[in-house]
Structure formats: structure tokens, C-alpha cells
Structure 1
Amino acid sequence: MLFRQFFDPVSSTYTYLLASGQGREALIIDPVKEQTQHYLTALNDLDLKLIRAIDTHTHADHITALGDLRDATGCVTIMGEFTKASCVSEQIREGETIRIDGIRLQALYTPGHTDESFSFVLDPARPRAVFTGDVLLIRGSGRTDFQGGNPHKSWDSIVNKLFRLPDEVTVYPAHDYKGWNASSIGEEKRHNPRLAGKTEGEYVAIMNGLNLPNPKMMDIAVPANLACGNA
């Protein structure tokens, strides 16, 4: 399998490009508008045809490249069924599988960071990796204080859905702020300081006590992303 991980240093966002191999069909997860040309160059260099572009949720810290990629490549844009972004080509439900040219991604509804967040499991018959968006981060978890976020739902999504995947499944989040680029389900069970050895009540208290400032681009990014980045 061909796999590329891109990083946007301004928003600390990871974007993932997957294909069965060079010269094949491809999909991309959580693309950033300012990096659009970078993705297009990679697609051209690898002779890939972009078929699907996915956002795990409505991001508040950067503008999505869904619209730009659709304009440039004709790809189908996808978000979860609870998104308010009416501009996407398709909305996917929990348990549905995105299939392109040998790649299989199964949708998993994982609210908590936002009320419409989805994760995507690679090769669901024998899970190899999971793209968690902002719900589960490496040694952390996505904030739960806006966009319909809820710490109880975050706990349920992580502990009762993501942590039921095999320990060896690789975790690829949409963001990292500490220099990590991947983790695993087993690592996060054992070492995530917000979750390891914690009760739901303790986790909720941690999340409610973060008192983080709003993302700098929130007032611009959320409306723009509801229009697939083309507002």
C-alpha cells in the first residue's frame, strides 16, 4: 500500500494520502487548503487519481481543501452523516465502508470533540490502522467545549469504540503538537495521561478543566468549512 503523511505546520494538522500503489486510485483524509498544491504535486508525481477526499469533522483551526481538491480533480468529497456541511458530495453512516481500488475504510461514529466527528478504520476485516480525527490524539484527546462537543461522549467514543480495536492497530490523528506522528491503540490505553487508569468521571473533570482559548481561526474556519473551504 502507498501511504503518505503530510503536515501543516501552522495548524499542526496531519493529512493522509492512501492508495494501493503508484499509478492507482487514491483517497485523502483531512486536507488543508493552504497545502492543496502540495497534495496535487504528490498525486502527479505518484501518477495517482484522487477519487475520494474525506474530512473527519468540521475543523475549527484550519480551512479544508475539500472544495479545492474536488475542483482540481473531480473527486467525491465525504463527511459523516451528521455534518452541517451541505456542500459535500456524500455523507457516510457508521458501519459503511469506503472502497477504492483495494483500499477499505470503515466509518466509525465517534462524537465528543464535535457532535459530528467520525473515525475511519483501515481494512476493517483485519484492522491495521485508524484515522481518529481529533477525538483521540497521541497522549491526549480533542477538546470538548464547542461545536457540540461533550466529554461523556468523548469518553464513550474512545473507550467503548476505539479502544475495542486490537492493541496493535496504528493510531493516526488529525493533529499533533508534540512531535509524534503515530501511536497505537495499545499505547494509548496504557500511556494516554487523560485516559489510562482513569474513570469516566475523572476524564470528564480533566476535560472540563482545560480552559483552552478558542482556536485563532475558529470564526473564519468553521463557516468556510461548512462550505467545503470555498466560502
Structure 2
Amino acid sequence: MLFRQLFDPVSSTYTYLLADAGEAVLIDPVFEQARRDLALLRELGLRLVATLDTHVHADHVTGAWLLQQRTGCRIAVAAASGAQGADLPLAHGDRVAFGGRHLDVRATPGHTDGCLSYVLDDASAAFTGDALLIRGCGRTDFQQGDPVRLYHSVHAQLLSLPDACTLYPGHDYRGITATSVAEERRWNPRFGGTSDLNDFVQTMTHLGLPHPKQMDRAVPANLRCGRPEGDVLPPAEPDWAPLTWSFAGLWEIEPSALHELGGRSPVQVLDVREPAEFTGPLGHLPGAQLVPLGELAARLPSLARDHPWVTVCRSGTRSARAALMLSQAGFPAVVNLAGGMLRWRAERLPAEGGEA
């Protein structure tokens, strides 16, 4: 089984990718991270079969609807959540399959009415959303929160799992990625050790936390499974060329696609190799401008910003760094040539200089 833990820095949300035999599920995807998630699915050769939300979030908008628009996947969320637009309304005891594996659905209400946790089929891992965090838990002072229900949910459905079961939370604000049942049973100050129900209720009643900053936006959107009002999609992808967003976080263009542009698009090619490489065996792209990577920062002010730039190097590694430098400097349209001059020449595309 393939597993990845992804992170949204704005909301401190963890998104989890699980895959087997080419089929994948995403737990708690974030709307603004859909491009990242789609890039990872593409690069790993996976088909997304479902998104699974642990609850109706108050701190971010789910990416479920947007990912469904892009992939045709199904949307799974608790039937008790009241969310509209799900294809898989889940309840305690259900299973969600992917490849030859599955997740068991456990109802863990108390943070919200519709909180679910997902337990891997061999009980080696559980995805707890906000019901159980690392040395903490989700709050219970809004959105149907109930500290008594949460206390019993966590003890009955999560802390009853095997000691070695790894627990993956919906969030962590300190950068800690995982914990275990044994750890939380012993060290969680709200559930562990000698803490009892009265201790827990008193603690949760007096947290005094401000409401999440995105709550007024997030909750209504998540009750629509992340579907924007008016079905307004994110800003359009660049349309001046067939581009691909990479999981590394930059746009790339295939050599054949750049060649097919010809003179139809005002593209400037920026070659960031050393001069000896520019005139060496691989040659260079017709019309390319040479600015070695070590000189690029100082020469950024001299580069025009009114047309797209394609960065090029030998293999696509240095040019990826150059593309990020230009993007961070505010250049509006920057892409990296996938595979660099090695792929350009391997595909027998025209070059100036170099060997035949």
C-alpha cells in the first residue's frame, strides 16, 4: 500500500493519500491544494476513487467537490453531517474500498455530530480527524459539540484500538505528524492517564478559544461538500500552452509542446547553464537567452515581464530552480522545460550548435 501525508500551511490541515493497486483515496483534501493533490496522483499513476472528509470543517474548505470535477471521483462524508452533494453518505460500520484494501468507518461524534474516523483494514493505522489530536482533541463549544459524547467516542472507538496502531490527526499546529494509541492512552492530558469524564468536561468547558478565522466561509461551503456558490471555479489554468503542474510546485512544459508552439506564442527561452554547456555537445534551443544560474538573481531586473519564460538546463534540475526564482520575483508566466536539453535532443527536436 502507498501512503502519503500532505500538509496545508494555512489551516495546518493534514491530507492523507492512501492507494493500492492503482486506486487511491484522499482523506480531508483542502480546496486550495487540489492542484497539488492532482499532480501527485498523476505522477504516481493513481486513479482517485473517493475523497473522504472526517467532518464538516470550520477552518478550511474541503477539496472534495473540486477533485470530483477534475477526476470523477466519489465524495464520502458522514450522513449525520447534513452535507449536501455526497455520493457516499457514510455511517458507523461502513467500509470504503480502494484496490485490495479498505478503511473501516467509525463514528466518533462530539467535536461535531458528523465526525468519522477511518481505521485501516489491519488496524495498523487510524485517521482521526479532529476527534483525537496529538496530545489533544477538537473543541466542543460550537457546531453540535458535546464533550460527553466526544469523551465516550474517543475511548470506545479509538483508544480501544491496538497499542501499536498509528494515529494520524486532522491537524497539528506544532508540526508533529503522528502518534499511537499507546502514547495517547498514557500521555494525552485530556483522555490519558488518570483523567476521567469530569476532568475532561471541565477542561473542554473552559478552553476559552476564539472561533476559527475561516469559520463563516468554511462551514457553509463544507455543507455543500466544498462546492462554491454559483459553481465558481478557481482561477483558470494558464492557457497559452499545454502545461502540467508538478508536485514539486511549478509549471512544466513537454519538449514537443514547446516545439509545437513555434512562433505562435511570444515565449522567451532562458537557458541557465554555463557558457561552455550552451555551446557544447547538446547545443541550445533556437533563440535562447543565456543567463547562468549563478548570475540570474543579479540579472532579474533586466528580464522582460510581458511574455512567458521557459527555463532550460541540461536535465531540468537547475532550470526548475530558475523557474522558482522568477516566480518568486513576480514574473507572471514561468515554466520549466521538462527533462531539459537531454530530452529535447532525445526527441530529435531542432537545436542550434551541438553535435548531430
TM-score, with length taken from structure 1 = 0.96
Name segments (4+ residues, structure 1) moved above 4 Å: none
Q: What corresponds to 1:191 in structure 2?
A: 187
Q: For this pair of structures, how many residues does the alignment match?
A: 227
Compute the displacement of 1:19 (Å): 0.5
Q: How far apart, in 1, do the equivalents of 2:145 and 2:129 lie?
A: 14
Q: Identify which of 131, 140, 144 aligns with 1:148.
A: 144
Higher RCO structure (Cα 8 Å, ≥6 apart): 1
SS of 2:51's equivalent? Answer: strand
What are the Cα deviations for residues 47-89 of structure 1, in whole angstroms up to 9, with x where unaligned?
0000010101000000110000000000000011202111111
Q: What is the 5 A alignment of 1:173-184? A: 173-184=169-180
What are the Cα deviations for residues 84-114 of structure 1, in whole angstroms up to 9, with x where unaligned?
1111111011111111211210000000110
SS of 1:141's equivalent? Answer: coil
Structure with the bigger percentage of helix: 2
RMSD of Structure 2 on Structure 1 (CA)? 0.8
Q: What is the 5 A alignment of 1:63-102? A: 63-102=61-100
Q: What corresponds to 1:27 in structure 2?
A: 25
What are the Cα deviations for residues 142-200 of structure 1, in whole angstroms up to 9, with x where unaligned?
00111101000110011122111111100001100112100001100011111222010
Q: How far apart, in 2, do the equivalents of 1:161 and 1:53 lie?
A: 22
Q: How far apart, in 1, do the equivalents of 2:12 and 2:98 lie?
A: 28
Q: What corresponds to 1:228 in structure 2?
A: 225
Q: How far apart, in 2, do the equivalents of 1:103 and 1:155 lie?
A: 29
Give ranges in structure 2 of 5+ residues lacking alignment.
229-356
Q: How far apart, in 1, do the equivalents of 2:68 and 2:144 lie?
A: 28
Q: How far apart, in 2, do the equivalents of 1:170 and 1:156 lie?
A: 20
Please state if 1:202 is matched with 2:228.
no
Q: How far apart, in 1, do the equivalents of 2:187 and 2:100 lie?
A: 33
Please state if 1:8 is matched with 2:8.
yes
Give ranges in structure 1 of 5+ residues lacking alignment.
none
What are the Cα deviations for residues 4-52 of structure 1, in whole angstroms up to 9, with x where unaligned?
110000000000000015xx01000000001000000000000000001
Q: Identify which of 115, 124, 127 aligns with 2:123.
A: 127
Structure with the bigger percentage of strand: 1
Q: How far apart, in 2, do the equivalents of 1:171 and 1:49 lie?
A: 25
State the identity %.
49
SS of 2:148's equivalent? Answer: helix
TM-score, with length taken from structure 2 = 0.63
Please state if 1:211 is matched with 2:205.
no
